[in-house]
A and B are shown apart, each in its own frame.
Chain A
Amino acid sequence: MTPLSRRALLTAGVVAAGTSVVASAAALGRRLGLVPPDAAGIYGPGETLTYATHRLFGRHAMAREFPRGMISARPFANSVKDRDEAFLAHQAAGFTTWRLAVDGLIARPAALTLADLRAMAVSRQITEISCEEGWSYIAEWIGTPLSAVLEKAGVAPKARYVVYQSHDTGFWDSVDLDEARHPQTLLAWGMNGGELPVPFGGPLRMRVPRQLGYKSTKFVNRIVVTDSLAAFGTGKGSADAEAGYQWYAGI
C-alpha cells in the first residue's frame, strides 16, 4: 500500500466516522433539547453549539445582579414599533381593562389583571439589559416570576416552550422551559421602585436577563405554553428569528 492511498483511506475513514458522529449527536441533541428552533441553515452549527453549551453548563446559572448604587441614572428606552389599537384603548383606561391571556398546554387557562399578577408573587432584581446593538443599562426590575404564573396554570408534562405575544405590532417571541422557569425570568410590571413606564414596556414586559434585550419583549399581553413552535409563524420561534436574528440570544 502506497503512503498516498493509505492517507486517502484514513481521510475517508475519518470523514465517515465524523459524519456518523455528527448525525447521532444531532439526534441526541434534539432529544435532550439542545437544538434551537432556528438550527436549520448555514448558521445552524454555531447556534446549536452555543445553545447546547449554555444549556449543558449553565442551565441554572444566575445572571449577574448589581448593587443599588449601580442603577443607571438615565436608562435608554429605545424606540418601539406601532402599538396596536387595543393597547391605546387600554392605555386610555389606565390599563384597568388590560389582561394577560395565559393558555396553551396548561390545565387552567386564565386572563390575569395586573392586580392578579401582583398578588401571585413578587420578585425584584437589579440586572443589566444589553441590546444586541452594543449599549446597555442597569435597572431594578419588579415583577412576577414567569415560573409562578406557569405553576398556577398547571403546565402539561409534554410542554417545551413558552411563546409570548405583544401589543407591539408583529412582535412575538419564545423561550424554552428552562429559561421560562428560571427564577430571574420575570413578567415585569415595575421598574426602579415605580410602575413600569410605557416607553420601557409598561404595563408588562418579559424580562429575560440571561439573554439580550430583544428577548425582553415589551407590552406582553399573551403567553402560550406549547410543545412545538411549528405552529407559530414559520416555526423559527420568534419574530426576531424570522427577521434574521438568533432565537437564542444568550450568545
Chain B
Amino acid sequence: MSAPAVARRHAGFVRVTHWLTTLAFLALLVSGGEVLLSHPRFYWGETGNVEETPLFVIPVPSSRSTVPTGYDYVLPDQNGWSRYLHFQSAWLLALTGLAYLGAGLGSGHFRANLVPSSADLRWPAVRRAIAEHVRFPSAAVADAWSYNPLQRIAYLLVIFVLVPVVIWTGLAMSPGFTAIWPSTVTLLGGKQSARTLHFVVSVALTIFLLVHLAMLLLAGFMSRLRAMITGEAEVRP
C-alpha cells in the first residue's frame, strides 16, 4: 500500500506563531488564574477593594487572609512567580501577534483563508454550516482544506477582537503604562472596569480554546495536529 499523497496545508509562519501563541496562552491562563486567587472579587469603575461592594465574586477560596470568601482557610500565595510568568508570557503573546499580523497581511493570509465570502455570510449558508457541524464527522473531513464560515468568523473574532482587547485591558491595569497613555484606561471607565473586562475576555478565550480542542477531537486530532506541526495534510481521495 502506498503512502497517501500529502500537500501543504499551513504556511510556516502560521505554524510557528500558532505554537508560540499556544505556549503563551497556557502560561497566561495558569498564571492569571493564580493571580486571580489573591482577590477573587470584581468591581466596576475606577476603584474597588474589600470595603466596597463587588460587581460579582468568584466563589473560591483566596490566597490572602484579608479577602472575605466564606472559606475558613487561605490558599498558599503563588503570586510572585505567577506575575513574572504572566508578564513575560504577555510579551511573547504580543510580539508573536505582531509578527503574525505582519506576515498575515504581507502574504494575503487573512483574505485568502479567513475572511468569509459574502455568499458564505448569507443566512442560508450559515444555517447550512451549522447543520453540517451538527452532523459530524462529514463536515470535518471537508474542512481539512478550507475553513468553513463559522470557523472563519470564530478565528477572526479571536485574532482581531478578543486577543487585542485582552492585551488592551491588561495594559489598562498597569500604573506605569497608563501614566504614559491614560486614555487606555479612561476609555474603559476605570482600572477596575479594565480588570473585570480582562477577566470576561479571558473566559471567552478559554471557551474558544475548549471548543477548538473539542472540534479537533471530533475532526481527527492526530491528522490536524500533524498538519499544524509539519504543515502537510493528506490530499482528499
Contacts and interface: CB of A to CB of B under 8 A. Distances in A.
Interface of A: 42-43, 45-47, 49-50, 54, 57-58, 61-64, 66, 70, 72, 74-76, 78-79, 128, 130-138, 209-212, 243-246, 250-251
Contact of A210 (B51, B83, B179): B179
A134 B35 contact: yes
B201 to A, nearest CB: 16
Given A58-B180, A244-B80, A251-B87, A136 B192 contact: yes
B65 interface: yes
7 A-B pairs with least C-beta separation: A250-B176, A46-B88, A244-B80, A43-B84, A58-B180, A135-B49, A74-B51
Given A72-B51, A134-B38, 13 more contacts: A46-B87, A46-B89, A62-B179, A74-B52, A76-B50, A128-B191, A135-B49, A137-B51, A211-B176, A245-B79, A245-B80, A250-B174, A251-B177
Contacts of B178: 63-64
A70 to B, nearest CB: 6
B137 interface: no
B81 interface: yes
Secondary structure call for the A interface: loop
A61 B180 contact: yes
Contact of A134 (B174, B185, B195): B195
Q: Which of B65, B177, B182 has the most CB of A within 10 A?
A: B177
B47 A246 contact: no
A136 B39 CA distance: 11
A24 to B, nearest CB: 19
A134 B67 CA distance: 11
A168 to B, nearest CB: 16
A246 B85 CA distance: 11
